[in-house]
Each structure stands twice: as structure tokens, then as C-alpha cells.
Structure 1
Amino acid sequence: MIWETCAADLATRVTHRSSRWRGPVARTPRHVFVPTWWEADGDRWQLRDPANETQWYPAAYADRSLITRVGDLHADRAKPDHHPTGRPTSSATLPSLVVSMFQHARIGDSDELLDVGTGSGYGTALAAHRLGDEAVTSIDVDPYLVDAARDRLATIGLHPTVESVDATGPLPVKPGKFDRIVATVAVRSVPQGWLTALCTGGRLVTTIAGTSLILTAEKRADGAAVGRIEWDRAGFMPARHGDDYPSAVAGLLAAAHEIDGDDVTTSPYPVVDVANAWDLDSMLGITAPGIEHAYQDDGYRRTAVMVHADGSWARAVAVGDERPVVHQGGPRRLWDVLDELRAYWLEHGELPARGARALITPEGVTRLARGKWRAVL
């Protein structure tokens, strides 16, 4: 198999023929950035370490994300008998989504770009092909990812600035350096350091952690930024500050499948797989951030569980067409919060977050508004 043919086919699938991103996609050997990866095999992770191009290229040039790190174990450093537990902590994002985020940024040929979330380095490569090495800076919290990405970029002749930095803190760059900031990690609210690094009139693109909401905003002369939640959607891993995400609710998530609640009620709404109901999950992520979910459907019984690190939990179980029985415990009633959002949806015909106006203060507080609805992140 010839990688140039595979990359050209990928470019045809993920870009319009007139797109300025078609050339970068066609010229970038994605397989270089994902020599190994993890795939879910039932309830465990299985290493994929291709022995030849026939095994490698179909995955590398598919328009899908490839998980490169689970917990604190990168696929590059794993052995075939390793089966890590925990959540994915890094990936090579599906190419169409990388291109979409860059398109939301409205990048011009002379712009300087900060790429937040180096990951595999593939998105950095696209940006460097498009803008040139000197115009691209990429940062990631993980020193190994940064070193690996820098080396792999160099093997294909690209030498952008790639540094290990916690993107949620101060950035080691001069104020106003960047015309565009594009983040392929999610944040709850825009870090103050991003606004400092962005020039007046510059544009940033990110996603709100725990949601599928894309936030775009342009910086004003007073240091604030104004923009909107796009009608489009995307999902990225939240920015992390160390080797792994804290796992404060694993025990509660398991227990919530069995224990009796302090309150036992019947919900008027069906059991829903919240994590895969993107608009509902996004509103819940704005209203009550930090909830984790589990869902089971055996064709007869549907069970949804919600837990939070503050000790709140809920379990809804429905058999056949019956209304679900809901058990809840802890300081908050999580299923009640969910049902209030569903009632709002039925009353208004939609949920208000997508399409909302956004104001980001110079301190990084994000305020959303649409009609009478307001939220502060």
C-alpha cells in the first residue's frame, strides 16, 4: 500500500475540493503519528501494534479517532499482554474533526497559531503544512507526547515549536503573540493565559468540558472576548494536569447499581443513555458539571446510573414500557436535575446552550446567554 494514495483518499473524504486544508491532509502521513494504538475489546483495552502496512494503513487513514493512551500507559510503551484500566487520556483525533476545528478558527495564511493539545502531533502537522513551521506553536501537558510528536514531525520535515506546558496555567509566550488559538482538549472555562496570549481581534476555538459545545470568541481591546456557542458539535477529552484523570467515583458508580436510595420515585420520562444524548448531556454538563454515567440495555430492562464526586447518585430502571423507578441519594438529586432539563426541552422545543452568546472576561470567567437563559462557567 502507498501512504500517499491513502492520504489523498482521506483528504477527499474529509475536505471540500476547494478547501485550503485539502493539501495538508493529502501531504501528511498520518500513520507516522499512530504507530500503535488501543482498541476496546469487550470490557478491556487491547494493544494494536500492526506488523505491516496492510494492518496499519486502513486504521491510520480512516476518519476515526485512535486511542493512544489509557490511564498513564501510552500504546508506544505497552506490551501485547498489557491491558490498562481507566479512561482514555490521549488520542489521534479523527481528521475531519481536526479540520473542522481549524475551519471554525477562520485561519488566514499569515496567522500565528497556538495548537493546544498536541496529542499525536497529527493536527500540528496539518497546521505546519498550511502555515509553515515558524507560525505554529503546539503545547501539551504530557512530556512524552511532546517529545514523540516533535520527533515524528521532524521525520517528515516539519519543525514547529512543540513544548510541554499545562495549558490551563500561564503560557510562556509574549502577550498578544497569537492570531488564533485552537484547542483539541476541553476546558470548563477559557484559561486566562489564553486571552493574554491572544492578540486583539484574535480568535479562539475550544470545547466546554463535559459537553459537546464548541465555543468560538474574538478578543476585544479591553482584554475580554465575545463570541458564541456554535451549532456544530465536537467532543474532546478534558484538559488534565497530571498523568491521569482523578477517579473519585469508581466505587460509587459500582455501588449505585445496587443500593437503595433515600428517595424512591417514578419518573414521567423514559430512561435515557445520557452520555450519548449529546444535547441533553451538554445541558447537564453546563448545569451540573462533573457527573459520570453508566447505561445498560438488555432489550428488556434499561438502567441508567449517574454519580458525582460530591456523593450524589441516581439510578433509573425501566422494564418494558413501564415508567422508570428512580433511586437517589447523597446531597443532590441528580435525576431530578435531568428531568427538569427534559421538562424545559418539552416546554420550549429546544435546549438553550447551543447557539448561545458568550462573553469571556479578562479573568477567564465565561458567561453564556440565550433569551432569558443564563449560565456562568
Structure 2
Amino acid sequence: MHDYSPLRPRTPLLLTLALTASLAAAPAAVADSASDQCTFSSTNHKYSGTPWALQRVNLDELWSQSKGRHVRVAVIDTGVDTANPQLTDAVDASLGENLLPPKVKGKPIERGNTHGTTDTVGHGTRVAGIIAARPMKGTGFVGLAPEATIIPIKQNDAEGHGTATTLAQAIRYAIDVKAQVINISQDTTNAVPPDDDLRNAIDAALAHKIVVVASAGNDGLGGNDKKTYPASYGGVLAVAASDRNNERAAFSQSGDFVGVAAPGVDMISTVPKGGHCSDNGTSFSAPYVAAVAALIKAKHPDWTAREVVAQIEQTAERSITGHDSRVGWGVVDPVRALTEDDHPIESPHPDPGLTHAQAPTPAKLTLGETPQERTARIATYVAIGAAVLVAALGGGAIALRDARRRRPLETRP
């Protein structure tokens, strides 16, 4: 049985709520005021500073190890617009594909370029920018893997016409064009597992040593803790969203399936036609991690998907020694992932010698004095008392001497 229910892109919350489907694979999103102000034009605002998500990384040290050169990253999303100058050279449109049908429910679909480089939503263009946007004068924003190659696979749109079936088709297409990393910033609505077609496509990608990265989902505001798909499939690196304090963003989905977390709040990235906008969501945490995977694949092309994922998880910044359902193995640390890589590992493990991002140890609450404290207090009092007594005796002797000197001569003995 095939699933033909639509997929919803993880666009701002108001739009997402309008895209209903029983088995929709949807990109994550939360309400963000900056998104409402974002317009797509060649004169769109250019972000002049360096986004906080990049400030947390020593880019010079990171790029001395790898820039992701020639690694193919498939972005299965709403398309990627190469009109943004930071993406023009980052996207290989010849490898792209548009999997949306020309007509849905009798209405024409905006296909744009047949290779999927037109993005009428802006979601896929943001995702691609976080991965591989090229440096450009006038902005501090750049992709974490600025020499990686984006393969744009347009599988969804604003109306959620993508389905779990077309998502599986997109994954298989990514395998055919020899992608080395796949980013999926989508999940099924209501955490409903689709049929086996999607699971089988994921397994096929993993068998080809492709690293599959997926967003964990944005339904965490109510303490939601349940699996999402395809993020919770075995072998997929599920990414939650973290904030500036390396803590789980309030909207980010929790669960044992979460592998790591990555910045997902106020994420600056590229938008169609040019310029930048800010947005929130695990949709933008996933490509941050996909970029790190591309960096590792460029440096270690023979590593398996499992080894790349384990390296990212093992080197993440942790507040506890092991796995946490909110941020997985911790918040991704790109520099550590590229420098503490002497040998590949198959799976992450607890770190009893944890020294990074360690939670402070609370001070002990003492309800009374210990014997040592009482001894020290008494000794202090004795010392102070002795000093006062010496001072008093010395002062008294001087006063008596002076008094005798002032007495009249006739009264002296």
C-alpha cells in the first residue's frame, strides 16, 4: 500500500497549521517574526554581521581540516533557488530533480526550473545555504561546508503536495546521483509511521554509505516525547534544535531517537533571489549537522555512514556523560568532530572524563557546623580575645604612667 498523503514544508507556524494531512512528511517550523518580514527579491536585506551559530565555531581551524570539497549533499525539500549569489556556484542543477507532478487536484503547480532550482517557499533555499553557501563580500554568513555541492531535489511545496512516497522516490534518486549526504528537513504529521517504502529507501541509502540527516520535529512545546519519521528510523541522524545556551529550544522535539542537537534559533540563511532572513526550527538544525557530515566525508571518504554519525555524536558538547532525550549526545561541535578523528568508531559511548560543557556542581547545603568548623571558630575567637587583652593591658599601663606624671609634686611620696 502506497502513501499518497501530502507532505507539509516546515515553514512558519501559521502556514504549517493550514497544511493538514494524515501522513504528511513536513518540514519543522515555529512562529518567527523575522519570517513574516522576509520577502524574496534581488534587493532583499543582506545580513552584514556573523550569525551567532557561526560565531560559536572557529571557522579558520575548522576549514584547515576540511571545507567539504566535492562532497555531494542532496537537499530533499522545496527546491533551491540558484538566483541567490551565494548558492549559484554551490548547486549542481544538472543533478537536480523536480518530483512534484505537473498537476495536483486539477491545478497547475509552479515547477520553475525542471531541475528543482526554483523555490517558491524559500525553505529549501535556507536549508541549502546553511550547508554550502559560498563566502560573499558584505556578509558574515557562509555555509559550514562552503565547498560542498548541493543536489536540489524538489519534493514538496507550500501546499504540502509531497508525500511519503515521493520522499522515498527522492531518496532513491539521491542514491542514483551518488549523493554522499542526504538532508531531510521534514517529518510525518502526528508522528504517524508511513508504510515500508520510506523505511526501505532509508535502508538503501545507508547501504550505499550515505549519511542521512533528518530534523527531529518542532512539536516539543507541550513536552511532547514521541518518535517522528524518518528521523527515528535506525541509522538516521536525528537532529534537535538548541539555543544560544546549548540547551534544547522550547519547540524542539524530544525522544530517545534524537542523536544530537544543533543551533535552531534565529538561524540566518539565504533566501530566493538574494539576501538573507532569519527563521527557527529543527529544519535549520539538521543542515548544520549535514554540513559537518560533509566536512567529515571530504576528509575521510572511506568512512561509513555509521562511522560519520558516531563521530559527530561522540564529539558533541555534553552536559551529562551519556545520552539525553532532549539533545541526544549533546550539541554538535564541528571543530572537535574534525580534529578528534584519529580513528573511526562504530557507535558513541558515555564520556566519564567529561570536561567540556560540564554542568556546574551545586554547593552543598550545610545545616550545622562540622567539628572542624567549630574548632576553627573557637581558635579564631581565642586569638582575637588574646589580642584584645594584650592591647587593653598595654593601654592600661600607659594610662597609669601618664596619670602619675600629672599629679602635683606635693602629693608625691
Give TM-score scaled by structure 2 length. Answer: 0.26
Q: Name the structure, 1 or 2, with higher relative contact order (CA <8 Å, separation 6+).
A: 2
Larger radius of gyration: 2
Give TM-score scaled by structure 1 length. Answer: 0.28
Q: Which structure has greater strand proportion?
A: 1
